[in-house]
Amino acid sequence: MVRITKVHTGGGDGGETSLVDGSRVAKSNARIGIVGTCDEVNALLGMVLMETNRLPDTHADGGTRITVRRVKDVCSAAIGRMQSELFDLGAELACPPDQIPEYMQLIDQEDSDRLCEEMDAWIEELEPLESFILPTGSGPIATMHLARTVTRRLERSMVAIKNEMRPLSLQYVNRLSDWLFVLTRWTSARLGEDETLWTPKGKREAGIAEMTRRQNANR
């Protein structure tokens, strides 16, 4: 059981902090940056849950929108578990691999493989990709895309010191970004949202300046 009675200690006032093994490092240390990015991903997943829970799950006549309710159920279960796993991962990342305490619960191969199993289940409902997808959409969709990109940043930071990481932890984070991408597509499909596809250069809207002038003229 975790018991925290005081948060402010003053120990970090000089720009240093402690790793799990008690060693002191600068807050600019690469490992501390990785832990912070892991925390950032976790916070973004909290925003995904917030946006998903905002979806109205009843029709104007009071009837239940079954599809929305099912999206909420899946996202709540999947992301709720993911937030706990990221907390476990963050604790591991806050110490060198040869200093991990025996009591610490670590991400294992089963956790990593579960991401692939869930991706496979979601992909069964999706049409194959025929173009790149732009990171935009409704609240839940756009926030999932943001969480995916920050997860890739986490992975890049870990790769920079991969010799000081468990290979399984790096594998897990690589799969997590893919997991978020597929979950984003599955959520879009379940909600009936069209994905915003990349437009080749020759087909992009170019007359924005003229559009703006016409709007001004018609005010």
Q: What confidence score (pLDDT) does residue 46 get?
A: 97
Contact call for residues 152 and 36 (beta carbons, < 8 A): no
Q: Are 184 and 141 in contact (CB under 8 A)?
A: yes
Higher pLDDT, 166 or 7: 166
Are 24 and 16 within 8 A, CB to CB? yes
Residue 195 host element (H or E): none
pLDDT level of residue 16 (50, 70, 90 thresholds)? low
| Residue 203 forms part of a structural domain | yes
* Confidence label for 90 from pLDDT (cuts 50, 70 and 90): very high
CATH number at residue 170: 1.20.1200.10
- To which residue do tokens 């239940």 refer? 64
186 CB burial (10 A radius; 0-12, 13-18, 19+): buried
Between CA 209 and CA 26 the distance in angstroms is 49
Examine residue 186 and state whether it is found in any structural domain, yes or no.
yes
State CA 195 to chain mean position distance: 19
Please check whether residue 6 lies inside any domain of the structure. Answer: no
Query: Above 70 in pLDDT, residue 45?
Result: yes
Domain, as residue range, for 114: 16-217
pLDDT of residue 208: 85
Residue 204 lies in a domain: yes
User: Which amino acid is residue 74, in one-letter code?
Assistant: V
Mean pLDDT for the stretch of residues 160-166: 92
Res. 204 pLDDT band, cuts 50 70 90: confident
> Quick check: is 3 in a domain?
no
* H or E element at residue 163: none
Length of the chain (residues): 219
Q: Is residue 24 part of a domain?
A: yes
pLDDT higher than 60, residue 14: no
Q: Is residue 147 part of a domain?
A: yes
According to DSSP, the residues that pair with 18 across neighbouring strands are 24
Q: Are 185 and 214 in contact (CB under 8 A)?
A: no
Answer with the residue of higher pLDDT: 78 or 207: 78
Q: What confidence tens digit (pLDDT) does each residue in 101-156 have?
A: 888 889 999 999 999 999 999 999 999 988 899 999 999 999 999 999 999 999 99
pLDDT of 206 higher than 80: no
CB 161 within 8 A of CB 30: yes
Band of residue 63 on the pLDDT scale cut at 50, 70, 90:
low
Mean pLDDT of 92-106: 87
| pLDDT (average), residues 17-28 | 66
Q: Is position 2 within any domain?
A: no
Beta bridge partners of 26: 16
Task: Give the count of domains, the chain.
Answer: 1
Determine if the pTM surpasses 0.75: yes
Alpha-carbon span 90 to 83, nearest angstrom: 10
- DSSP H helices in 21-94: 30-53, 66-93
Whole-angstrom distance, CA of residue 193 vs CA of residue 110: 32
Average pLDDT over all residues of the chain: 88
Angle ∠(80,54,152) on CA atoms, nearest 5: 50
